[in-house]
Structure 1
Amino acid sequence: MAVPTDRRPDRRRLLLPGLLSPEPGLETYWVRAGGLTGVRLAAGDQLTVVDLEGRQVAELTTLRLEGTQQPVLDIAPDGPATVLRALVGRHTRIADPVVAQLVRQGLDPTRLDAARLFGEWSPAGATETFTAQAPGTVVVAAPGGEMRLDAVEANPPSDLLIELRRANRGLVPPPPLPEPLAEPVMDFRVNSATALGYEVKAGQYIQIIDVEGRQCSDFLAFHSHRLQEGLERGLDSTATRYFMGQAYPQPGLHGKFYDQDMQPLIEVVQDTVGRHDTFGLACNAKYYEDMGYPGHVNCTDNFNAELDRYGIAPRAGWPALNLFYNTAFDGHNQLVFDEPWSRPGDYVLLRAGTDLVCGTSACPDDVDPSNGWVPTDVHVRVYDAERKFSMAIAHRVTPEQPAKLTKQTAFHSRTSALTRQFTEYRGYWLPASFDGHGPQEEYWACRERVAVMDLSPLRKFEVLGPDAEALLQYGLTRNIRKLSHGQVVYSAVCNETGGMIDDCTVFRLGDTNFRVVCGDEYTGTWLREQAGRLGLDRVWVKHSTDQMHNIAVQGPASRDALRDLIWTPDTQPAFTDLTWFRFAIGRLRDHNGIPVVVSRTGYSGELGYELWCHPGHGPELWDAVWEAGRPHGMLPLGLDALDMLRIESGLVFAGYDFSDQTDPYEAGIGFTVPLKTKEDDFSGRDALLARKASPQRTLVGLELDGNEPAGHGDCVHVGRFQVGVVTSATRSPVLRKNIALCRIAVEHAEIGTDVEIGKLDGHRKRIPARVVRFPFYDPDKERPRS
């Protein structure tokens, strides 16, 4: 009997963004701003180019197969291929594998032309579609130059997307390997369900690549010299975790792997996945036997066979560095696992600290999610020790987007000369503290004199067009219509439930030109989505973070230090006339200097300024500020000192003091929600009205008795039951007390209320504390207004 149409079973499929295409035959490729991407086409393939953020020109260059007369696409070039000519002519190594192969085949960049798509008024999401008439190669480029900081209207270059729908959907080509990072000294494939042993020299780099994605790869390493002495010294989980202080090393300060003699063997340099299970046993015969699969091929037996020739004794189960293996301990202390996070082409780059004997496997597990139930190959490349690769971790803004490796800011050449204490922060390397100073000394420099710090990871978005004000009026809680030219305002960004997506500052550059500075890169994506939902088709949200890097100069002497450094034209306020939350567009020293934007804003609770420039001008700006600040006792300031400053000043931090599960009232910034004076609707308004009418939690300050500190996530009790949680905590140098920000039930939020901060299980050890007025330091914010 036929099933009635309205009773058919739900055939929706699991959503696996970035892993499996929901549309058979669909391939997607990204074109970075200022870069290019090449794809190969067969006759009948459909190519769509998408202008993701709008107002971005695309250059389309087609290359026919040798001996073919028919054009690949029905489009004629109308000018030179500027990006392709410049990129191919300038670099010896091309990141795009298709273009790299064309260069190796003798591509002459000086003779290439392109057809231009899109332009000044193309909306976000604009598309152009072509059908291939003949096989060939298409190179899509996203041209773009330096964004002008001294212009009211800015149009930073942005990414493009390529959607390729194959005419022959039955033939799915294997994903291409990423181009080598340099010329390999070894380059080999570890076939599915096998393992290989190999030797590397001290200083060489080992790149282990997941070819098709979701494939675990076990890695072993042994000290070669100790093996020659008859001693087996390999990677040791206990020593490694003890020294690194985390489940597994990651690029940066805590990136080394040790043996049982506490000697470092290898260091992780780059990681495009960031989630692994290290030092679980490589799969072994007993595992499969206990699962009911006797005789199943396994990594341990494969390793035993490969390592025998190096004199390494076999084991029943090898504790291995389990790359790409997705395991964790849940809240009940149970070991759980799921499919790996790795995508096609993801890799880990390691550096040998000494001569090593190594083993790499392509795990054969096909009876559980370890390899997504389909074991595939692993690829290994080894690079010469003379090469230098920067430390990097990968991030994705959304699951569909490509990974972005950690970058250095425009000021890294200057800060790295002052410290080695760098930490990864939102996709960039920032100093945690500075050698020869330390957090306390840096803190006092800001409180008493002047300090300078790098805040370039702040995300910047140019919001442009006739509908720009309407979009921000809806997307932010503040009343943007009241914002004047040259003014800055601090705002919350809320979803429809009133939960905070982000906080931000908004600069008004003109009637239709705004700059949003925030913490989360997704905020720009969300604003773009709201514009589409509201039908605001004359607004562009353009990502400009890589066009504007910034330093903060904070402290009571900051105005004096910068007084003679910032020149502004007559059409802008003089630097010394800038009032709190105002900005000016000017230049360094005089009208011939580099363009800068200076705002009287900061994150320290002191009088201070932020200086914004193009990354190409970063070293010059730092040098000028450093020289100007020297007579005033300026010091550099790291993230550790900044945390003390901002907690004392009651300034909230994403992921600690707020998230999409907390509203602005619960985050202590209810002043950013003008429900009475903002008549226009905005995202989350109805929910915030209800939340304000019936508040459940609020943010308060706590002073702790004694000298034992609180920590983020500590429970807060009144009697037996928990009434709150510590969101941020520090030792306040100026108050000489331990203090904390706490989200607490409103019934216990009155100033003077005694509470206890729970340690251990929350009951056996408690720290007495009381609710106090906050901000703890300068509660009336008189100092930054001075």
Structure 2
Amino acid sequence: MSDVIQQRLIRQESNRIEQYIHLQKPMTTLHLRVDAQSLTVIHLEKNDQIEFKIPEGQCLELLPRDHVQSFNPKLLETQSQSNTDMIQICAATQTLAQLQQGTQSSHHLAQLLCRYTIDKKQLQHVILIEKTQTIKLLCTENLQLIVINAGLDMCIDQHNVINDIKVIVHKYQALNEYLPEPLAQPVQEIRIPSASARTYEVKAGQWIQIIDVSGKQCSDFLAFDAQALVQGQEIALDAVATRTLLGHSTPAPGLYSRFADSNMQTLIEVIQDTVGRHDMFLTACSPKFYEDSGYFGHVSCTENFNQALKKYAITARTAWPAINFFYNTQIEPCGTISMDEPWSRAGDYVLLRATKDLICASSACPDDIDPSNGWVPTDIHVRIYDATEYFPRANAYRITAEEMPRMTKNTAFYPCIAALTSHLVDYRGYWVASQYDGWGAQAEYSACRERVAMIDLSALRKFEIVGPDAEKFMQFALTRNVRKLAVGEIAYSAICLETGGMLDDGTIFKMGENNFRWICGDDYTGIWLAQQAKKLNYQISIRASTDQIHNLAVQGPNSRELLQKLIWTPEHQPDIKKLAWFHFTLGRLGGPTGFPVMVSRTGYTGELGFEVWCHPDQGKALWDTIWQNGQQYGIAPMGFDALDMLRIEAGLIFANHEFTSQINPFEAGIGFTVPIKSKEENFIGKEAMQNQNPLSRYKLVGLILDQSQAALHGDSVYPDSGHYPVGVITSATNSPILQKQIALCRIAPQYAELGTVVEIGKLDGQQKRLTAQVVSLPFYDPERIRVRS
């Protein structure tokens, strides 16, 4: 054994003994993430442990830097001798390869490296970790660790995608707070100690980041028009004006997009929110609140505000109306308000933008007599960024409860979409168009039914399932008979829990003998699939490829003729004209030298249609080409409002409407995806569905309403003149084709017979009823002649 290795082992043993002595100290665990083709900077202290969960087949490049920003591999030591062979010091080949691509991912990574002053010379020496899926390292001294998760872009016909890497930091010294890295260079940093309030001045256009550094800590926020104050007028945020402008009569657990003053002028816009659940606009805690609870003389946010605002000669109040960030309120249908512990975690924040010069005040709420601050009031931190910075609008979501928040993204087609509409909504973590300026849902719908329309469906989740057991596993995980698929064929399938309830639905593409691409709606489906594969020891790899594949749906009677002119296919692939329903082809846009695309005969409209799939770098070029060439066919852009009308007419189901985890495929109206008799092998949920009496299942039916008033999702459905509900409206719309209100309804089998008259309850379900008749699905093109044409 060499002296170097022996010294290292001695040092490791010494550290383990030191840790054992300090076992009584609490340890804080941080769950972090390194996004694919990106990097993360983590600040660590002596004796901290850091654990990496690396997807199979991927590697990891680490750049540990000491207090003078020098590369020092001795700052990290492996916690397991078996991992020694997986670690080497070499050049950052994966990072350099990504940089050399010259693509958007290259530019993004280059910007991050520049931000942390890392040049190509420094990338000649990194710690490379490979051939392992988990590794733990110990910090021997304080350090800054740059964690790089680099790799090449994935082509549309490949499956070598780079996925996120999970990072778990076990802090040796318990953390009292977690202050995330600044979003940019701050121009002000304001710390608001527990149970206090501070004021600060903000110029128009500047950004305000309010951070909960310890988690579960509320912060009330006030803002005044600074110019009006100079003129002796107190013009502040106003709850009534804000709710009136935005159509809300009462608060709800979320934030408005903007907040207005008493003159109905916007003072601040909400740009980012990593929590998603706030009180919104009640009063800050006041002396009366504590007095009524028996705590006389208790410090309050209102009194703290009164003291902090004195220097601006702002009149004191007995209770300040405030935006209550991080406060967890529940509003019952009857209007009753209750509360519980905040949802915010250490490092969560809200990012605002000032539309005028403002005098702002923020508090760290002192309430310690109920769960509103998790019983232990802590600090709040505020950062102000210059108006020249740019931060995109985004909301947060989490795939799993413990992970860092993920922010709303732009799809590859966002620049083209944003130029055509201001109607953008956050759909499953992506900005999509609800409708387009100058068109509207009705016109977009008509274009799809009569001519051709295009819609961004990139928010669909994609997963690459590859390996010797890929077919065997998908046969077990999906309800459909996967073994019957040929390469180039697609099947629509449900994916169920053991209870028979639907986890998701989607389409499976057979890319090769051992390669499948699963397209579905929910990120968690990929995690769940990986859990099942690991539990049963299937030899497969499951990788998320959503960020490497974006797709446009081109739908309508003219879609085939349009795409025929644009998509070149090699001799061994079917061309667009011959492409069969639920099959796909691989080709190139514009000719043999164009960029690669995948084209499938699929859609969600009930019309003849296709989906065109490409790498995000080619998204704008794909949109522009289809859009320009589609003008002669009367093409229109299409948003999700029109898509909803189309899919309801076509009787197509949607998550959390027609199905949930407690509703099986038969009850959701897609029993055809469950070949219980002909699929001899077992699959997840088969036994539960076999044990259910088919005659007892609720059924998905269509309803045509006799009145012009609309039914709504969630409305109860009653027998004719009956008192108790027997069904529920799952989706509803106005049908332009039928010129009537229609609905999808899950109903008890006794009332599912065609022609049965039922009533849809409005108001309380009893005072007002809409009559409707049960009809077969789909409402439009019942033989599906158009989609198969």
TM (normalized to structure 1)? 0.91
CA distance in 1 between counterparts of 2:32 and 2:589 reads 40
Q: Which residue type is aligned with residue 732 of structure 1?
A: S
Give the secondary structure class of the aligned counterpart of 1:509.
strand
The aligned residue for residue 762 of structure 1 is 765
The aligned residue for residue 235 of structure 2 is 233
Contact 2:254 2:280 in 1 (8 A): no
Shift of 1:91: 7.3
Contact 1:95 1:179 in 2 (8 A): no
The aligned residue for residue 81 of structure 2 is none
The aligned residue for residue 162 of structure 1 is 167
The aligned residue for residue 29 of structure 1 is 32
Contact 1:249 1:257 in 2 (8 A): no
Q: Which residue type is aligned with residue 162 of structure 1?
A: V
Contact 2:716 2:761 in 1 (8 A): yes
Contact 2:63 2:71 in 1 (8 A): no
CA distance in 1 between counterparts of 2:165 and 2:370 reads 37
Contact 1:446 1:555 in 2 (8 A): yes
The aligned residue for residue 668 of structure 1 is 669
CA distance in 1 between counterparts of 2:121 and 2:367 reads 47
The aligned residue for residue 638 of structure 2 is 637
Shift of 1:505: 0.4
Counterpart mapping for 1:48-67 below 5 A: 48-51=51-54, 53-64=55-66
Shift of 1:134: 5.2
The aligned residue for residue 19 of structure 1 is none
Pick from 720, 730, 734: which aligns with 2:733? 730
> Structure 1, residues 477-514: CA drift from partner, whole Å, max 9, x if none?
11111111101100111111111111110000011100
CA distance in 2 between counterparts of 1:233 and 1:71 reads 58
The aligned residue for residue 372 of structure 2 is 370
The aligned residue for residue 615 of structure 2 is 614
Q: 1:707 to 1:136 in 2, by over 3 A?
A: closer
Counterpart mapping for 1:528-547 below 5 A: 528-536=530-538, 538-547=539-548
The aligned residue for residue 153 of structure 2 is 146
Shift of 1:187: 1.7
Counterpart mapping for 1:197-346 below 5 A: 197-246=199-248, 255-330=257-332, 333-346=335-348
CA distance in 2 between counterparts of 1:237 and 1:315 reads 16
CA distance in 2 between counterparts of 1:161 and 1:743 reads 40
Counterpart mapping for 1:445-594 below 5 A: 445-536=447-538, 538-594=539-595
- Counterpart check, 1:599 vs 2:600: yes
Q: Which residue type is aligned with residue 610 of structure 1?
A: E
Q: 1:38 to 1:231 in 2, by over 3 A?
A: closer
The aligned residue for residue 784 of structure 1 is 787
Shift of 1:56: 1.5
Q: 1:402 to 1:519 in 2, by over 3 A?
A: same
Contact 1:251 1:269 in 2 (8 A): no
List alignment gaps of at least 5 residues for structure 1. 1-21
Shift of 1:523: 0.5
Shift of 1:180: 2.2
Shift of 1:248: 5.9
CA distance in 2 between counterparts of 1:396 and 1:674 reads 34
CA distance in 2 between counterparts of 1:233 and 1:69 reads 56
* 35-44 or 353-362: bigger deviation: 35-44
Q: 1:333 to 1:666 in 2, by over 3 A?
A: farther
> Structure 1, residues 370-412: CA drift from partner, whole Å, max 9, x if none?
1111111111112222333211101101111211111111001
Q: 1:611 to 1:108 in 2, by over 3 A?
A: closer
Contact 2:454 2:552 in 1 (8 A): yes
The aligned residue for residue 697 of structure 1 is 698
Contact 1:61 1:81 in 2 (8 A): no
Give the secondary structure class of the aligned counterpart of 2:214.
coil
Pick from 58, 73, 91: which aligns with 1:80? 91
Shift of 1:178: 2.2
Contact 2:253 2:278 in 1 (8 A): no
Contact 2:252 2:329 in 1 (8 A): no
Give the secondary structure class of the aligned counterpart of 2:560.
helix
> Structure 1, residues 435-462: CA drift from partner, whole Å, max 9, x if none?
1111111100000000011000000000
CA distance in 1 between counterparts of 2:378 and 2:88 reads 42
Give the secondary structure class of the aligned counterpart of 1:469.
helix
Q: 1:511 to 1:696 in 2, by over 3 A?
A: same
The aligned residue for residue 126 of structure 2 is 114
Q: Which residue type is aligned with residue 79 of structure 1?
A: C
Q: Which residue type is aligned with residue 552 of structure 2?
A: I
Give the secondary structure class of the aligned counterpart of 2:692.
helix
> Structure 1, residues 586-639: CA drift from partner, whole Å, max 9, x if none?
111211111100000000000000000000000111111112211111110011
Contact 2:31 2:404 in 1 (8 A): no
Q: Which residue type is aligned with residue 457 of structure 1?
A: A
Q: Which residue type is aligned with residue 730 of structure 2?
A: T
The aligned residue for residue 129 of structure 1 is 136
Give the CA RMSD over aligned residues.
Answer: 2.5
Q: Which residue type is aligned with residue 136 of structure 2?
A: T
CA distance in 2 between counterparts of 1:184 and 1:395 reads 25
CA distance in 2 between counterparts of 1:705 and 1:612 reads 42
CA distance in 2 between counterparts of 1:68 and 1:463 reads 38
Q: 1:257 to 1:42 in 2, by over 3 A?
A: closer
The aligned residue for residue 741 of structure 1 is 744
Q: Percent identity?
A: 50
Contact 1:727 1:740 in 2 (8 A): yes
CA distance in 2 between counterparts of 1:178 and 1:292 reads 38
- Counterpart check, 1:405 vs 2:417: no
Q: Which residue type is aligned with residue 81 of structure 1?
A: A
Q: Which residue type is aligned with residue 527 of structure 2?
A: T
TM (normalized to structure 2)? 0.90
CA distance in 1 between counterparts of 2:321 and 2:67 reads 50
Shift of 1:730: 0.4
CA distance in 2 between counterparts of 1:63 and 1:77 reads 17
Pick from 745, 750, 753: which aligns with 2:753? 750
CA distance in 1 between counterparts of 2:473 and 2:709 reads 47
Shift of 1:286: 1.3
Shift of 1:68: 11
Shift of 1:339: 1.1
Q: Which residue type is aligned with residue 218 of structure 1?
A: D
Q: 1:436 to 1:137 in 2, by over 3 A?
A: closer
* 433-442 or 303-312: bigger deviation: 303-312
Q: Which residue type is aligned with residue 328 of structure 1?
A: Q
Give the secondary structure class of the aligned counterpart of 2:311.
helix
> Structure 1, residues 355-384: CA drift from partner, whole Å, max 9, x if none?
222111011111111111111111111222
Q: 1:521 to 1:89 in 2, by over 3 A?
A: closer
The aligned residue for residue 655 of structure 1 is 656
Contact 1:197 1:360 in 2 (8 A): yes
> Structure 1, residues 131-190: CA drift from partner, whole Å, max 9, x if none?
445554443321212101134xx1110111223345xx4x22444422222232222111
Counting matched residue pairs gives: 747
Q: 1:320 to 1:40 in 2, by over 3 A?
A: closer
Q: Which residue type is aligned with residue 364 of structure 2?
A: A
CA distance in 1 between counterparts of 2:72 and 2:406 reads 39
Q: Which residue type is aligned with residue 591 of structure 1?
A: P
Shift of 1:26: 3.7
CA distance in 1 between counterparts of 2:477 and 2:424 reads 34
The aligned residue for residue 354 of structure 2 is 352
